[in-house]
Amino acid sequence: CGVFGIWGHEKAAELTYYGLHSMQHRGQEGAGVVVSDGEELKAHKGLGLVNDVFKHADFNKLSGRVAVGHVRYSTQGGKVLENVQPLLFRSQAGSLALAHNGNLMNAHKLRGELEGQGSILQTSSDTEVLAHLIKRSGMETNEESIADALNQVVGAYAYLILKENKMFAALDPTGIRPLSIGRLGDAYVVASETCAFDQIGATFVREVLPGELVTISDEGIKSTRFAMREQRKMCAMEYVYLSRPDSDVNQVNVHASRKRMGIELAKESPAPEADIVVGVPDSSISAAIGYAEMSGLPYEMGIIKNRYVGRTFIQPSQELREQGVKMKLAPVRGIVEGKRVVMIDDSIVRGTTSRRIVQMLKEAGAKEVHVRIASPSIQNPCYYGIDMSTRDELIAANNSPEEICDIIGADSIAYLTEKGLERAIIMEKTIHQGICTACMTGKYPVKEDGQTEIMYTK
Ligand code: 5GP
Ligand code: SF4
Ligand code: MG
């Protein structure tokens, strides 16, 4: 998912629409905005793409100098309108809106407790749990009640919380999900990805820190801490696949990190004898450029993408995913025919993409296809908000690399190592930088009982 917030701008709702549009890749199931005019919160949301949802928005009715927005893809909770965020809770004592990127590992347990105490939950999304924890026993929404609520949830989260006259931004103590602060003139902006800042002409100021609660109001910006800062464990998949190449995630540019993944991969696993390097558009092109540069082979456009098809991974069923890959990617026969091809993909999850593409390239006349994957193999589920949650679906959890090579019909296969991935992402200049690689290495930085594992990557 992606979150966006703006404080102190006449066109808050419209800028939220632009910001969300630039983060469309983070979720295509639904989108929404909640605006505050200082007295009242108003929502506009819907299922589908940002453009579809906002096509029907009357921005005159969404007046107010403050807004939070959200693009959604579901990890918990179904694909229904009431789960589209920001969630808005009205009450006489004061309304509350929430936008969440991440996943709460103990949501089910907390929900049971809340219901046991008489709370009635409206949605099946884990986000609502936090709202109830904040509002419990009629507490006012302030730093104290939010900190108290955050200390009960376990998992990965970047939250934007809005009430009539204040906005709060919070990041989990290990900083697994991205969240940055920017400025646009006098206005403050908060977003999952910095590409949203560029989109609206805002400038990056700083990251929200792990365990930090930021309060934004007409008095300015204030920082408090609800948890001790731990070494940051930014999701490695943000760099590998999820984020846009023009974004800086924890101050490291995504395209540049992917290119370094390709360079490291070429050093670790050069292809035997090959003619061209081809990347799977769009997310693997940066890594393919790096691989080509390092190996001295020409980078070629051997696969093209139909840009009118959405992200296949985010399709909820395997059938839709298979059809999606077929509609989305096509080989360039004139380029690959008779060639020994090194095919770079950023990752293999279920194996759908790689299998289809190897087959396509061979049908188009490629002599050999050597698959090189610019991340380690994914063998474990993610509990922190990325949708690949069952082990059964993960091809690498159930098959060796040799078996995968056979299944996808490649001539050889190799993955980037954990060390190679770290070299590509972790930069000297970034303080407290570390990465989560749990889906690849099984080293989970946060456990469900709330214990964090202290591991120092550097
Ligand atoms: P597969 O086809 O093997 O199931 O998935 C791999 C493809 O999905 C890759 O081409 C990659 O670009 C994309 N992908 C990999 N990891 C993720 C992820 O964590 N989230 C999403 N949304 N897509 C991913
Ligand atoms: Fe990201 Fe994988 Fe960690 Fe999930 S388990 S947060 S996808 S690195
Ligand atoms: Mg891909």
- For the chain (458 residues), the mean pLDDT of every run of 10, in chain order, is 98 98 95 97 96 92 97 78 93 92 94 91 89 86 96 97 97 97 98 98 97 97 91 95 97 97 98 95 96 98 86 63 79 98 96 93 98 97 84 92 97 98 86 87 89 46
Last residue of a domain, one of 202, 230, 258: 230
Domain of residue 335 covers 248-421
Protein residue with its CA nearest to atom 9 in ligand 1 = 347
Looking at the structure, tell me whether residues 272 and 160 fall in a common domain: no
| ipTM of model | 0.91
CA distances from 76 to 108, 151, 155, 242, 427 (A): 10, 20, 13, 18, 33
CATH assignment of the domain containing 130:
3.60.20.10
Beta carbon of 161 within 6 Å of any ligand 2 atom: no
Task: Could you list the beta-strand ranges (E) of 296-391.
Answer: 299-300, 303-305, 329-331, 340-345, 368-373
Beta carbon of 241 within 6 Å of any ligand 1 atom: yes
Ligand with smallest separation from the Cα of 158: 2
Q: Is residue 385 part of a domain?
A: yes
CATH assignment of the domain containing 371:
3.40.50.2020
Q: Is residue 114 part of a domain?
A: yes
Which amino acids are annotated catalytic? 1
Q: In the block, which residue shows the tokens 């009635």?
A: 120
Beta carbon of 438 within 6 Å of any ligand 2 atom: yes
CA 160 – ligand 2 centroid, Å? 21
- Find out whether 86 and 98 touch, Cβ atoms under 8 Å: yes
Model pLDDT, residue 196: 98
Looking at the structure, tell me whether residues 36 and 174 fall in a common domain: yes
Q: Is residue 140 part of a domain?
A: yes
Last residue of a domain, one of 230, 261, 289: 230
Looking at the structure, tell me whether residues 282 and 223 fall in a common domain: no
Q: In the block, which residue shows the tokens 């999701």?
A: 235
Looking at the structure, tell me whether residues 219 and 290 fall in a common domain: no
Looking at the structure, tell me whether residues 41 and 189 fall in a common domain: yes
Model pLDDT, residue 395: 94
Tokens representing residue 154 in the block: 């376990």
CA 304 – ligand 1 centroid, Å? 17
Looking at the structure, tell me whether residues 218 and 269 fall in a common domain: no
CA distances from 8 to 3, 37, 166, 354, 404 (A): 17, 10, 11, 46, 53
Model pLDDT, residue 433: 78
Q: Is residue 426 part of a domain?
A: no
Beta carbon of 288 within 6 Å of any ligand 1 atom: no
Element (H, E) at 110: helix 107-116
Q: Is residue 427 part of a domain?
A: no
Number of domains in the chain: 2
Looking at the structure, tell me whether residues 99 and 163 fall in a common domain: yes
CA 96 – ligand 2 centroid, Å? 29
**Closest-lying ligand 1 atom to the alpha carbon of residue 283:** 12
Model pLDDT, residue 451: 67
Q: Is residue 451 part of a domain?
A: no
Looking at the structure, tell me whether residues 94 and 226 fall in a common domain: yes
For 269, the 3-state DSSP assignment is coil
Model pLDDT, residue 453: 56
Model pLDDT, residue 56: 84
Looking at the structure, tell me whether residues 290 and 223 fall in a common domain: no
